[in-house]
Structure formats: structure tokens, C-alpha cells
């Protein structure tokens, strides 16, 4: 039996095990795909400004053109349909709707999102909208952004407008995308926009994000009849490098940050603690005891986004967390070209873990994918490693579902190669190859694999 036959048999076995109502889809984000950053009244976002800073993004790349989705959305949605997907997840650019973050509404931006939604519905695609996918209006960042005491007011007005404007068409909502990602990378270590550093930025950003995810849910519940409301969390299994007490304690600290910090307040448990000094600081800063009820919301589903597991060891040089990663390449275990460990069993355990909180009604895998270097031959784009990755992770999800974890959908990241934050256009996660110079789209082997997979369901 050759490799192609093996793939075909495996995909038939996996695909037939999911019910007909299971939701298969792809996800994109505004800042990474839309382009058209300064046309039709759109205001600047923090990523537009961050990209202009020297040595922040590989190759000096910018999101200014990205994948040109703003002009090519009809063709790209036809590709989503052609590959057999049912769900299309995308995000609103806050600054395309409110150029100044608040106040004046940009009618052209609103009209654009109506056109995208209408095209989805015309094609029989279910639109899932993310309200915030990391691209805060620059005007609000100048007033403090996620660290500001005014943030809840700003966010509430934005969510209310979106609910009232689009709620008759959009019934599936994701409030925030990976709050740990944008608060830590953007407001603690400065690697992502807006490039702020330190606990004085991180702690208020975390607290505002915790409040925003739940308040956004409440606004949607009150404004959108029959809405299905979720929010998405990044997560990863944290494994000790050794069984030494110091390494085990380091695991606990990292686990609080990477897995517990945002889900536990949302389900009514408040902020985690477990003798971690950073949590003392967060409790003191936020006066969490006053906000416990406001931090909670009964989401219809929780979005899980698991890209890797992480092995850590005690490192006293690292401030506060006192832990550092032992890279997958150092441990000589399978990893993507981003250096992220490939571990489908870990993905399975994280699905089980979030389900066992007991307060989660349903899980949706709102992003899942990997960066591998593609091989281009005679105009075809080959990416067998990505196909293997998807097969492993779908099998792990299937196992979790058989053991009682309620999962209603899986969204591949991502439809097409895009602006991958500080990696620029180097890290390619797409099912479709995009030439950033010509914008030519070429379906990869993994895209055709998905088409065949979904046809066999």
C-alpha cells in the first residue's frame, strides 16, 4: 500500500466517525487577511503602527496589504465552499467600524462586513464572528488601550453596536481570541503590538480582558435573540522537565498563566492562586473580590486553541514565573517548523481537562493547524506533514469525543497563508498558498485532503 492509499483509508475511517451535525470550518482574522488598511475610512490599528517599528517583524513585513481579502472576499469564500467547509470564522476590525475606537461610525466599514456576511449566507456558509482578534484601534491605545480604566466603556459600546447592527444575521459569536496571547505578548514582554512591557501593563490588561469577555457575552445575550455565544482560549499542556520539586512548582506557575487564568474567572471560580506571587499581585491590583460576579458568564461554548505542549524547568533567572521552556528540538521530539512540539495525545488531554471543569456546556476547536515549509513543484504545493498533523489531531479529538467530551466543531487554522504577526509572511499555516506579491491563490495538498475528507463524511 502506498502513502496516498494510506492517507485515503485513514481519512475515510476518521471522517465517518463524526456525526452529520458536526461543524467543520476554517478561521481567519481581519488584521492578518483583510489588507486595505487605510481605505474607505478605516482607522489605524495597533498592528499598523507596530509594523512600522524597526526590527519588530521578520523581513520588515506589514499587514497593510495582507491577503487582500477586503477586495477578494467573494473569491476566497468560494474557495471555502469548494473545499467543503460549512463554517467560516472571521473577525471584525474594530477600527474599520469605529476609526477612532468610539464615536463616529464608518459606514463603509459596516457595509463591508454586511457584504461578507451576506456572501457567506448566499453560499450556505455559517458565519462565526470574532469581536476582538488582537487589532485594537490605535486611537484607543493612545489612551491606554487594554490597561485603561475606560476600557470596559469602550468595549461595551463596540459590542453593543455590532450586536444591534449584525445580530439579525450573525447568531454565532466569539468575544475574544486568545486573551493570554494578546495580554502577555503585547502588554508584558512587548513582542507583539502594542509593544508594552512589565506587570504595570500586564495586570490591568488581564483584568480588563477577563471583564470584557464576560461583559461582551452579557451584551450579546441581551441584544441578539437565539445567539450562540462563546469565547476562545489558547491552552497547552505543561510538562515538567524532571520530577524535581522545583520543576513541578514551575509547571504549576506556568499552568496558571497558560491554561487557568481566563477560563476560571469565566466559569465562576475567580482568579486561580496556588501560592503564586503573581496572583497575589493580580488580586491586589484588580480587587478581584469585588468583581467575581462580573467576571463570570455562562457561555454556550468555549473555543479551544491548542498548538503545542510545553516542557518547562525551574529557572531562577526568569522574573516572577521562574520557569523556562525546554525546546522540542533540544529534546529531539517531533515539532513543526515553528519549533512547536507535535503532540496529539496532549491535545486530547487538554480537551478532556477543559471539559472536566464541569461548567463548560460545549467545546469548539476554534483554531487548529501548523506551520510547515511547503514544497512547490510544477505549480503544485505539497505539504504532507500538515496532512499528517491534521490526521493525528482529528484522531485525538475523536478519542475525546468517544469518552464523553462534547465537541461540536473543528475549525482549521487557516484558510490561506497570511500575515502571521511578528513572523510576517514567513510562517505559513494555510490550506491555500498565497504569493504575497501577486496574491495568486494555489490550493495545497492539505486543502485537497480536506475536500476529500469532507466529501467522505
- Catalytic machinery residues: 178, 367
Distance CA 163, CA 173 (A): 9
Residue 94 to residue 132: CA distance in whole angstroms: 7
Nearest to 273 by CA among 240, 199, 265: 265
Grid coordinates in use for 299?
A: 457561555
Question: Biggest alpha carbon distance in the chain?
Answer: 63
Polymer length in residues for the chain: 457
Burial 297-332 (b: 16+ CB within 10 A, else e): bebbbbbbbbbbbbbbbbeeeeeebbbbbbebeeee
Q: Which residues contact 438 (CB under 8 A, 6 or more apart)?
A: none
Q: Quick check: helix, strand or coil at residue 425?
A: coil
Q: Are 127 and 90 in contact (CB under 8 A)?
A: yes
Q: How far, CA to CA in Å, does 312 sit from each of 145, 259, 275, 306?
A: 32, 14, 18, 17
**Helix (H), strand (E) at residue 47:** helix 46-50
Read off φ and ψ for residue 178, nearest 5 degrees: 45, 70
C-alpha–C-alpha distance, residues 114 and 103, integer Å: 20
What's the rounded Cα separation, in Å, for the pair 333 and 89? 32
- What is the three-class DSSP state of 408? strand
Residues 366, 351 contacting (CB under 8 angstroms): no
Amino acid at each position: 500500500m502506498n502513502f496516498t492509499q494510506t492517507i485515503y483509508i485513514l481519512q475515510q475511517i476518521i471522517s465517518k466517525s463524526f456525526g452529520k451535525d458536526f461543524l467543520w470550518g476554517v478561521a481567519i482574522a481581519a488584521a492578518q487577511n483583510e489588507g486595505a488598511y487605510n481605505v474607505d475610512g478605516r482607522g489605524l490599528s495597533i498592528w499598523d503602527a507596530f509594523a512600522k517599528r524597526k526590527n519588530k517583524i521578520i523581513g520588515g513585513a506589514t499587514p497593510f496589504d495582507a491577503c487582500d481579502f477586503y477586495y477578494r472576499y467573494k473569491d476566497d469564500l468560494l474557495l471555502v465552499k469548494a473545499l467543503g467547509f460549512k463554517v467560516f470564522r472571521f473577525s471584525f476590525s474594530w477600527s474599520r467600524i469605529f476609526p477612532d475606537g468610539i464615536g463616529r461610525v464608518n459606514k463603509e466599514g459596516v457595509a463591508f462586513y454586511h457584504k461578507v456576511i451576506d456572501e457567506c449566507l448566499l453560499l450556505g456558509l455559517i458565519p462565526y464572528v470574532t469581536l476582538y482578534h488582537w487589532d485594537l484601534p490605535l486611537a484607543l491605545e493612545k489612551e491606554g488601550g487594554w490597561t485603561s480604566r475606560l476600557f470596559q466603556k469602550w468595549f461595551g459600546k463596540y459590542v453593543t453596536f455590532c450586536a444591534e447592527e449584525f445580530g439579525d444575521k450573525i447568531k454565532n459569536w466569539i468575544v475574544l481570541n486568545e486573551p493570554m496571547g494578546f495580554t502577555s505578548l503585547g502588554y508584558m514582554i512587548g513582542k507583539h503590538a502594542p509593544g508594552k512591557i512589565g506587570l504595570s501593563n500586564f495586570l490591568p490588561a488581564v483584568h480588563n480582558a477577563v471583564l470584557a469577555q464576560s461583559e461582551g457575552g452579557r451584551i450579546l445575550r441581551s441584544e441578539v435573540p437565539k445567539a450562540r455565544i462563546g469565547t476562545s482560549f489558547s491552552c497547552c499542556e505543561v510538562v515538567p522537565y524532571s520530577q524535581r520539586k522545583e520543576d513541578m512548582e514551575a509547571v504549576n506557575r506556568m499552568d496558571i498563566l497558560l491554561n487557568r487564568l481566563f477560563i476560571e474567572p469565566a466559569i465562576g471560580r475567580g482568579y486561580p492562586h496556588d501560592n503564586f506571587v503573581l496572583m497575589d499581585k493580580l488580586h491586589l491590583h484588580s480587587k478581584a473580590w469585588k468583581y467575581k460576579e462580573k467576571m463570570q458568564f455562562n457561555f454556550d461554548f468555549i473555543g479551544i486553541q491548542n498548538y503545542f505542549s510545553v516542557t518547562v524547568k525551574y529557572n531562577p533567572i526568569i522574573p516572577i514565573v521562574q520557569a523556562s521552556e525546554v525546546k522540542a528540538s533540544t529534546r529531539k521530539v517531533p515539532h513543526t517548523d515553528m519549533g512547536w512540539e507535535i503532540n496529539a495525545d496532549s491535545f486530547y488531554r487538554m480537551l478532556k481537562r477543559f471539559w472536566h471543569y464541569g461548567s463548560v456546556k460545549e467545546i469548539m476547536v476554534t483554531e487548529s493547524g501548523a506551520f510547515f515549509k511547503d514544497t512547490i513543484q510544477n505549480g503544485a504545493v505539497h505539504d504532507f506533514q500538515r496532512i499528517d498533523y491534521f490526521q493525528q489531531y482529528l484522531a485525538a479529538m475523536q478519542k475525546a469525543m468517544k469518552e464523553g467530551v462534547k465537541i461540536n466543531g473543528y475549525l482549521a487554522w487557516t484558510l490561506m497563508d497570511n500575515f502571521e504577526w511578528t513572523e510576517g509572511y514567513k510562517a505559513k499555516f494555510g490550506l491555500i498558498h498565497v504569493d504575497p506579491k501577486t496574491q495568486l491563490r494555489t490550493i495545497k495538498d492539505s486543502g485537497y485532503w480536506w475536500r476529500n475528507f469532507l466529501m467522505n463524511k
